[in-house]
Structure 1
Amino acid sequence: MLQVKIAVFLLSSYLTLRDAITCDGGDAENFPEFSAFCSIANQLKIGLKLAGNPEHKKTDATYADRNRAHKLAESNKTDIEAKTIKEEDGFKKKTTDVPLPDSSTGQMAARQVNETFKIAKKIYGDVETPYATRKTQIGEANKELKKALFGAEDVEGDLTASSSWLTQGNKDKLFGSSPTLAKNCGGATTNGNTEAPHVGRSLVNDLYCLCLSVQANKKACTATPTTATAQGGDLSTISKARQNEWNTQLKRCPKNTGAITTASIQAEVTLMTNLIGSNAKKPATVTAVKQYILGYAENLATG
């Protein structure tokens, strides 16, 4: 399996690490975490691409020619002529593709064409099979990346145009069942996962907790305050105001540059993991729960 599965595993592990996410929200305290989240989210949205394979293209074209010649060497001339007229089965016009004559010379040529086709078919398989396998693996990996971003592989859309996916119908996929501030962003305490079962449900959920779970006019993730009415962690209803606030925040995300690779995703996950516990309130305070908090903690007892 491709190395991308490693990135998916790391991402899945990362999404189950924390117990509390919140902030004071007065001076863009969560900007480092916001930037890291944005980078991961954008990479997951774009997904991995199947690199072009010049050898695949060459063998594909060559095999098509050999395959057509092989079919022209078949014995059913009437069938071949009918297909060439209709340009079916890879044939071109009758004036271009004609069956080999039913003569000793034609039969000898047909045998040679068929022998050449056997060799071409093997070469084509040697090149095509790994390419097809890689294409399938990347497709499956991108489904996992989408699940990490949105909570489900059938949710998709532009991150800065959330009206198509940040909807009431997708609420449970994005935020889990009966979402609340405590369940999704941090429980009554930071001592266990039982009080916050939806933390890490999706990157959308955790971005919400970092930047939008605060009251209005806060500067949790950027220097510009939120403008929606008090969010207060109420996720039971997805409102237009919430969609607009999400779009405004995500438009402030730093833009990704460069190719999306398994290595780039792994690097971003590592960066995010290293931020856990590094931005808790009162950094000099020694407390065991700090290691579980992502972002600037409003309260070291609860996150």
Structure 2
Amino acid sequence: MSFNILREMEPFTQRLFNEIIGFQERDHPAWDESQAFEKRIANLPLHYLIFSNADRNPETHGPTVAHYYPLQKEMQTITDYAKQVADKPVVLDVHARNGFIGSLLAREGLDVIGLRDGKEKPNQIENFYDKTCYRMENRCLSDIDFPVDVLFSSWMPSTVDITEDVVRLNPKLVVYVFTKHINEYSGERQTGTSQSFGEKLPASYKIVDEWEVTRIENLLNEIWPDLSPNIEEKRFVRIYANTGFHDIKINDNRPPAKGYDWEKELLMAETAHEAKKTMKERGFPING
């Protein structure tokens, strides 16, 4: 790994804290629903894709923006698969919440329909979706009676298992984003159940791709001690294809993803972590 970007750490840190403070004080366009989605996600701090804003009431609202930070290369990979099962695939974002994650998927060239379930706590930023390519509907998955090509299940609520609805709709592709993390207070999985998309999923579905993203412990705090610590969290993505699509593959000639603005902060933090690890291994005395 090259550590060259760390030469820019001082000005980078200044910008980082300015953006975090601006978001905290609601000066960032993300809070303004009248702004275009592209402007709302520009310079969105990584901090607020790990933590919520300080003024959020957890009794009434879910995360300020989203449960996790998505990577653009993931959205492009999912899109590659989706476009191989239909010319104009109908994509259903079944846990839409504010539409943030689903809109990032839609912006890669898909028409996505988001389902917002009124039983779930709304995000602190309740509407955060791209109206040019994402359609939000306030209805439940059990109400859907039209053909679905791709079912996108991102961060299924704890204790929920939508496998039976998947069987009923029989989509060509199922994308499942989840974590196996157990809530230390409730003792339940943070997403879904251990049976979600398990043995109840018909044998006609095969995993055609899967990967994991690890949010390392104290991702920001170890580099910038004034920022909050976090636990390690592993996020998993599985793509299931139905009969007739088991041989689909991603486009190996696709140009590299540019990455979202928060990925710049992620790269800087992960590079700094790796640099500290390397220095420790070589016996250099460092703080932390």
Q: Shorter-chain TM-score: what band? A: under 0.3
Q: Which is richer in strand? A: 2
**Which structure has greater helix proportion?**
1
Q: Does 1 or 2 have the higher relative contact order (CA < 8 Å, sep 6+)? A: 1
Structure number with greater Rg is 1
TM-score (norm 2): 0.21
How high is the TM-score relative to the length of structure 1?
0.20
